Amino acid sequence: MINLETPRKFRAFVHQAHQVAAEMLRPNSRRYDLAEHAYPKELDMLAAMVDGLGASGTGSGAGAGGVRRPEADEDGKVKNGSNLSSVLSVTEMSWGDVGLLLSMPRQGLGNSAIASVASDEQLRRFDGVWAGMAITEPGCGSDSANIQTTARRDGDVYVIDGEKIFVTAGGRCDAVVVWATLDKSLGRAAIKSFVVFKDTPGMTVERLEHKLGIRSSDTATIRFENCRVPASNLLGSPEVDGEKGFAGVMQTFDNTRPLVAAMAVGVARASLEATRDLLAEAGVTVDYDRPIHLQPAAAASYLQMEADWEAAHLLTLQAAWMADNGKPNSLQASMAKAKAGRAGNDITLRCIELAGTLGYSEHHLLEKWSRDSKILDIFEGTQQIQQLIVARRLLGKTSAELK
């Protein structure tokens, strides 16, 4: 049975993550929001420290790169592993700054894709690589099954052609995990993921996007023209299984959606804490011992937001815990992503309302957190897609039956 307290073995690690967020990420948050596309050099030292923690065994999944799904344990013992520790650390780091977190070397969402579906040999070969995730295309957003980028087998290589947009860390990472189809006529079953290194001929970073939020994180458009990638860089099995579909690459989402939910939880918590301080300065006390209808309107609104945040937080922990214990968590991952994404948006905007002019100005980070939170309800599957997945799972419908 899941225990909702932070596991004792993770408490020191979570405390360290919070210290890093408070002393390194939060103080640089506004600086790199204003200096869009400037590389945060402070992250090199932080990444080296995270690598050291992982190598020493004390990091226990320090970020997105640490996520991997274990096999189900037949002895019934409960595990608190890398998925839960990653969610806990990502929450703390996002409390500091989610854009800087997404800019951390070797902690990209592509690293989670590698950890989710790579073979043991590939895990060793790609160890230490900073990988971005390249899924979205100009004509393909939420419907990943409609990917048009192709991968054609030519001897011992695959030839990749296509264009990917909104690639997080696409300008800075060492490699990208590219989703491409082996045969468009076979539909979603033929979609595979490939690790493509940035120095590969035929791969070009076309431009970096200017964005509403997470401005410290670079977001790139990447083109592939006759890009020849070793066949050994295909993640998982190269076989096209019509029965299984593209469940292998979709398993990536089951592991990364709780991470994105954790980012939303962290940003929302930062907004709640700052707003509570501002309310206290204005003489508004949030009283947990009084009924909500007997409290000032601002305090009542705050309590409603806090309850919403708690629900998102617990759903996120559940999805990560299930992954650690080898349990199917596609439903829970989508529920966590849907709830946390929407709650993050709602909470950060309502906090601005409660703070008034202080919330709207750059004197505080509240307005920045509201901008950052919007993407967390969009990438890794939009709010609407998550609701569709949840409906399919609950009703027992296939993607063809419920669109």
Question: Which among 69, 68, 82, 79 is positioned nearest to 1, based on CA atoms?
Answer: 79
| Count of CB atoms situated within 10 Å of the CB of 191 | 26
CA atoms within 13 A on the CB side of 263: 28
Distance between CA atoms of residues 148 and 77, nearest Å: 43
Crossing angle of helices 247-281 and 109-117, in 10° steps, is 140
The three state secondary structure string of the chain is CCCCCCCHHHHHHHHHHHHHHHHHHHHHHHHHHHCCCCCCCHHHHHHHHHHHHHHHCCCCCCCHHHCCCCCCCCCCCCCCCHHHHHHHHHHHHHHHHHHHHHCCCCCCHHHHHHHHHCCHHHHHHCCCCCEEEECCECCECCCHHHCCCEEEEECCEEEEEEEEEEEECCCCCCEEEEEEECCHHHHHHHEEEEEEECCCCCEEEEEECCCCCCCCCCEEEEEEEEEEEEHHHECCCCCCCCCCCCHHHHHHHHHHHHHHHHHHHHHHHHHHHHHHHHHHHCCCCCCCCCCHHHCCHHHHHHHHHHHHHHHHHHHHHHHHHHHHCCCCCHHHHHHHHHHHHHHHHHHHHHHHHHHCHHHHCCCCCHHHHHHHHHHCCCCCCCHHHHHHHHHHHHHCCCCCCCC
Distance between CA atoms of residues 272 and 306, nearest Å: 7
| Count of CB atoms situated within 10 Å of the CB of 22 | 13
Residue keyed to tokens 């079953």: 189
Distance between CA atoms of residues 261 and 333, nearest Å: 9
Catalytic residue, chosen from 92, 163, 367, 380, is 380
**Quick check: is 92 catalytic?**
no
Which are the catalytic amino acids?
380
